[in-house]
Amino acid sequence: MWEYAPAPESRDIANLRPSYRMFLDGEFVEGGGEPLKTVNPATEEVLAEVSTANSSDVDKAVKAARRAHERVWGRMPGAERAKYIFRIARMIAERARELAVLESLDNGKPIRESRDVDVPTASAHFFYHAGWADKLGYAGLGPDPRPLGVAGQVIPWNFPLLMAAWKIAPALACGNTVVLKPAETTPLTALVLAEIVQQADLPPGVVNILPGAGDVGAELVGHAGVDKVAFTGSTDVGKIIQRTVAGTGKKLTLELGGKAANVVFDDAPLDQAVEGIVNGIFFNQGHVCCAGSRLLVQESVADELLAKLHARVSTLRVGDPLDKNTDVGAINSREQLDKITSLVESGEAEGAQRWTSPCPLPEKGFFFAPTVFAGVSQAMRIAREEIFGPVLSVLTFRTPDEAVAKANNTPYGLSAGIWTDKGSRILWMADRLRAGVVWANTFNRFDPTAPFGGYQESGFGREGGRAGLEAYLDV
């Protein structure tokens, strides 16, 4: 064990301003809603005041997006659209450090993750989709793919900038215009992205960013002028949105919750598997819809693996998100921390054996020490419900068939992991796991060229790759 000296990234780099305004029809304007105060979850201090939209702002934004679609964006040659989107990709990269620090401040995630994953992947997402804008006829989705019109998009707080990129990039590439609502607790990077959109000189109205709470999102997805609704968030809210959209003819894609099984066989390289398990559940404090939150271990190696896992998790450094040595940052909000705490209590009450890392926690802020439950049965809430926090439930199995049955025993189906040295078993498992993304001997890999999305109640539609274009095209 090493002692680490603090290695904090400078918060000045975030260019934090005392107030942020919403972005509507090419201008930053005051919203009609009650301004919100966004909080640094690592310190509980207010970072900035952010104006929010009311229903008339939503209406204005949808109309601006409609105008922009009809007059400019929808009829612009794809090659020209592409160049605008390439510009956005480049400008995100240019301002990468600023965006990373701002993201860590607003969200609580470690700077290492915002710097190495969120921001570069966001830039890559725009770069990838830019190239599609004038090549949509080659996507294999029909001879004459047409844009849908105005996309209303609602995104979560776990990857604020990255989710904005996942939503906006394909929409623009396919010729749609966008009204996007960032999450209530993490609006800042989306508004810097709006600044980039402005600096990239996109025509007014093509991208509109309206901060606010769930009511603004509901207003947006219910607006009659929206042709396409895209939502990433909880399955509960996804169902409400699917109900709202029913009968309207709006095209819908949903990327919802998960309870991924991470399956470790007895022949897996255990040290490597431990790294993957840790990455699977503690990456981004476990605030990941595809987190490997159910560890299924073959019984014969369960004790050995668990011991290694405890040893490794004990070394995870929990604390200041801006410290470059931090592994696990802050829980995004008090509300989320309460939810995690209550599910962990249910795990104890239902008889699972709790182990929590003895790591020190900061005195202020929302933090939760990495926790591993052993002796979990399938009926327990911690095996069934999405915790969305740094909490792992460990179950065991004896045969591959049992592993498949337990892995698939969930209404979700977003992701899954397989750890084994046997290639044929990987492919056999990959065939049988009912999940949209299967990571074998790795976990939590994302790339704009690789389609991402769920089976069953984890939602429908894909983001990324050729498959992801379908969500934004009339084909």
Partner 1 sequence: MSERLTVAKTYKLYVGGKFPRSESGRSYPVRDAKGGFLANAAQASRKDVREAVVAARKAFGGWSGATAYNRGQVLYRVAELLEGRREQFVAETSAGEGANGKRAQAGVDAAIDRWVWYAGWTDKIATVLGAANPVAGPYFSFSVPEPTGVVGVLAPQASSLLGLVSVLAPAIATGNTVVVVASQDRPLPAITLSEVLATSDVPGGVVNILTGRTAELAPWLASHADVNALDLTGAPESMSAELERSAAGTVKRVLRARPTEPDWTAPPDISRLRAFLETKTVWHPKGT
Q: CB under 8 A: which stretch of 79-87, 182-190, 245-253, 262-270 binds partner 1?
A: 245-253
How would DSSP label each residue in 222-284?
A: H-TT-SEEEEES-HHHHHHHHHHHTTS--EEEEE-----EEEE-TTS-HHHHHHHHHHHHHGG
Does residue 470 touch partner 1 according to CB under 8 A?
yes
Least distance from C-beta 237 to partner 1, angstroms?
11
Does residue 93 touch partner 1 according to CB under 8 A?
no
Report the residue from 456, 469, 472, 473 that binds partner 1 according to the rule CB under 8 A: 456
Does residue 475 touch partner 1 according to CB under 8 A?
yes
Q: For residue 344, with 0-12 CB atoms within 10 Å meaning exposed, 13-18 middle and 19 or more buried, which class applies?
A: buried
Q: Which is nearer to partner 1, 25 or 463 (CB)?
A: 463
Kindly give the pairing relationship between strand 22-24 and strand 27-29: antiparallel
Name the one residue in this structure whose structure tokens are 């104006």: 51
Catalogue the active-site residues: 255, 289
Residues 113-152 within binding reach of partner 1 (CB under 8 A): 124, 140, 142
Name the one residue in this structure whose structure tokens are 């020190």: 360
Side chain identity at residue 239, one-letter code: K
Report the residue from 249, 358, 363, 424 that binds partner 1 according to the rule CB under 8 A: 249
Does residue 234 touch partner 1 according to CB under 8 A?
no
Q: Which is nearer to partner 1, 249 or 358 (CB)?
A: 249
Does residue 453 touch partner 1 according to CB under 8 A?
yes
Kindly list the distances between the CA atom of residue 203 and the CA atoms of 79, 93, 139, 194, 263, in Å, as whole numbers in the listed order: 15, 21, 26, 12, 48
Residues 424-443 within binding reach of partner 1 (CB under 8 A): 426, 430-431, 435-442
Does residue 362 touch partner 1 according to CB under 8 A?
no
Report the residue from 152, 170, 212, 465 that binds partner 1 according to the rule CB under 8 A: 465
Helices and strands (H, E) in the chain, number of each type: 16, 20
Report the residue from 186, 235, 326, 336 that binds partner 1 according to the rule CB under 8 A: 235
Q: Are 461 and 255 in contact (CB under 8 A)?
A: yes
Q: CB under 8 A: which stretch of 3-11, 193-201, 233-241, 369-377 binds partner 1?
A: 233-241
Q: Which of 183, 230, 232 is nearest to 210 (CA)?
A: 183
Q: What is the dihedral of CA 66, 68, 70, 71, to 10 degrees?
A: 150
Residues that bind partner 1 (CB under 8 A): 124, 140, 142, 235, 238-240, 242-243, 246-247, 249, 254, 256, 411, 426, 430-431, 435-442, 445, 447, 449-453, 455-460, 462, 465-467, 470, 475
